[in-house]
Structures are given as structure tokens and as C-alpha cells.
Copies of this chain bind each other. A is one copy, B any other.
Amino acid sequence: MNTVTGFASATIGNVACGFDILGFAIREPGDEVTLTLLDDPRGELPVSITSIEGDGGALPRDARKNTSSFVVLKFLEYLRSTKGIEFNGHIELELKKNLPLSSGMGSSAASAAAALVAANRLFGDPCTKMELVHFAIEGERVACGSAHADNAAPAVLGNFVLIRSYNPLDIITIPPPADLYCTLAHPHIELRTAYARSVLPRTISLKMATEQWGNVGALITGLLTSDYGLIGRSLVDVVAEPKRAPLIPGFFEVKEAALSAGALGCSIAGSGPSIFAFSSSREIATKVGNAMEQAFSSMPDALEADIWISPICRDGARIID
């Protein structure tokens, strides 16, 4: 018997102007997946879920439908077909969910990434992290119906991740500036990705598109040259944020509070409802977090919000036990 626990942290997709092509990982919070290898087969599938904590019973227990076990099944298929590793035993999976569902924090991607590094370790790390990204993306299809990579890739790889193309998959890792801190505010409401996607326009003006890709180019430049001022000026989303902000009660007040407290920039985390801000030190990021929490709680319909302060995660999904 062999037991391994993997951990993968929250990730934030889009990053203002980088709609659908950019994401990054923070260091905490994150999901934990413990895999236990049994030598003998058990049941129909080579993987079964023995426990899930922290989801309030919302996630499927069927190993084919839960993201964390689904990606392990895909991983085992790949080992057989590509690496010539035949597995005739059984894997028990325990999932400890620390990330809220439908939060814009990459909850499903974190579970998938944690499960994948654990599975990879059980077999002696036969796959590279970039190989694991492919399975994590497949997991997103199970979790939310479309195979997006802007949470899945940073959940596995850490850092900022740019998805240049899906066909073929072309994923580029961008290391973060040393003093870049993220403040993440998660108000206690849920917002379904599919609904947040339905409010987006199908076409945009060329002028607006040009403005957006000017900011994308500038944001990447800011990240790669540690130009914090440029990062701040580039965190502008003229496409998705104006449509999605009305779905998040208090968005404008919270953003204003973050900027007033010294944040470089602030926008919606993924498709929301969480809101992220960047700062150039932990001290400022902490002040920003207090200001964001205060802004959520002082609305007419006060919202409770969880606040996390974190540097950018550089190592991605990892073994913790």
C-alpha cells in the first residue's frame, strides 16, 4: 500500500484583459487529494472515491463524473497507451475541498491538478507537468462543459500561464515579478460559469478588440520586466468586465476600495464572483484586502467575503505528504 497527497492552489483566469488566454496561481488556499494504491482490482473502475470533504455534498461521487477521479482515469489510460505502463490494481481517492465551488477561483482545476500530481508520483513521475496539463484540461470539460485551460494550466504549472492556442495546445509559462501579491476576495454568493459566459457578446468592435490586445501586450511586458506601474495600467478589461460586473453585487465599490487602498489594479477573478487585486507588497495587499472586505460588508445588502493574501505560486501542483 502506498499513499500520496497532492495539493493544488486556487487559480485566477482571465486576469482582466487576458480573457480566456491568461491565468495565474496563488499559493493558498487550495484543494488536497490523497490517493491510496491497492495492489488488487476492486469494482468496475480502477479508481473510486472514498471521501469528499468540504463540498457540502455538491460534487458527484461517481468516479467517472467527479473531476479529480476522472483525470486519474485519463492519466491511467495514457500510461497504458503511451508509456506502456499497465495498472491492474485500484486507487482510492480522498478529496479535501478547501476552495468554494462556482467562485471564480478555479476550484475544479485545483482538484484535478492535485489528483494528477499525486497519481503521477504513485507511478514514479512518468509524466512531465506539461503532459499533466492535458488531463487537467480534460477535467474542465467534465466540470464545466468546456475544456478551458486558463485555470487548469496554472493549477498544474504555477506562475502566470498564457494559452496562445488550443489547436495545437500552446502553453507558455511566465514567471511572476518577485514582489507581486494577489488579494482575492470571495463574496458568499455563487455565480455559474455558464451563466457568466452567456452575458458576453458574440462580436465586439475592432476598436475595442484592439484596445484589449494593447493591454494584453502591455500586461505581459509588465510581468516579464517587473514593471509594476505598467502591470497596473494594463489591468483593463473592456470586453468581459463591463458585462459581468453587474452580476456581482458591489463590484464597483469593491474595485474602487481596492484601488484607493493602493492596489495596482483590480478585476473579476475568472468569471466571478470573486474579485482579485494586485499589489506590489504584502503590506499593501493586506490593506487592500481589508478595504475590499469592508466594501462588501458596508453595502445595503451586506455580503460576507473571504479574503486571501498571497504571492503568485511558482511551483504549481505539488506533493505535500
Contacts and interface: CB of A to CB of B under 8 A. Distances in A.
A170 interface: yes
Interface in A48-89: none
21 contacts: A17-B213, A18-B217, A20-B210, A21-B213, A21-B214, A162-B221, A164-B217, A164-B218, A164-B234, A165-B215, A165-B233, A172-B218, A174-B221, A203-B206, A204-B204, A213-B213, A216-B216, A217-B217, A217-B219, A220-B220, A224-B225
Interface of A: 17-22, 162-165, 170, 172, 174, 200-206, 209-221, 224-225, 230, 233-234, 239
Nearest to A211: B165
Given A206-B200, A206-B201, A209-B212, A218 B162 contact: yes
A220 B210 CA distance: 15
Copies in the complex: 2
B218 A217 contact: no
Contacts of A206: 200-204, 239
A230 B201 CA distance: 30
A84 B21 CA distance: 49
Contact of A216 (B170, B213, B233): B213
B209 A239 contact: yes
Given A220-B221, A239-B206, A214 B165 contact: yes
A196 to B, nearest CB: 14
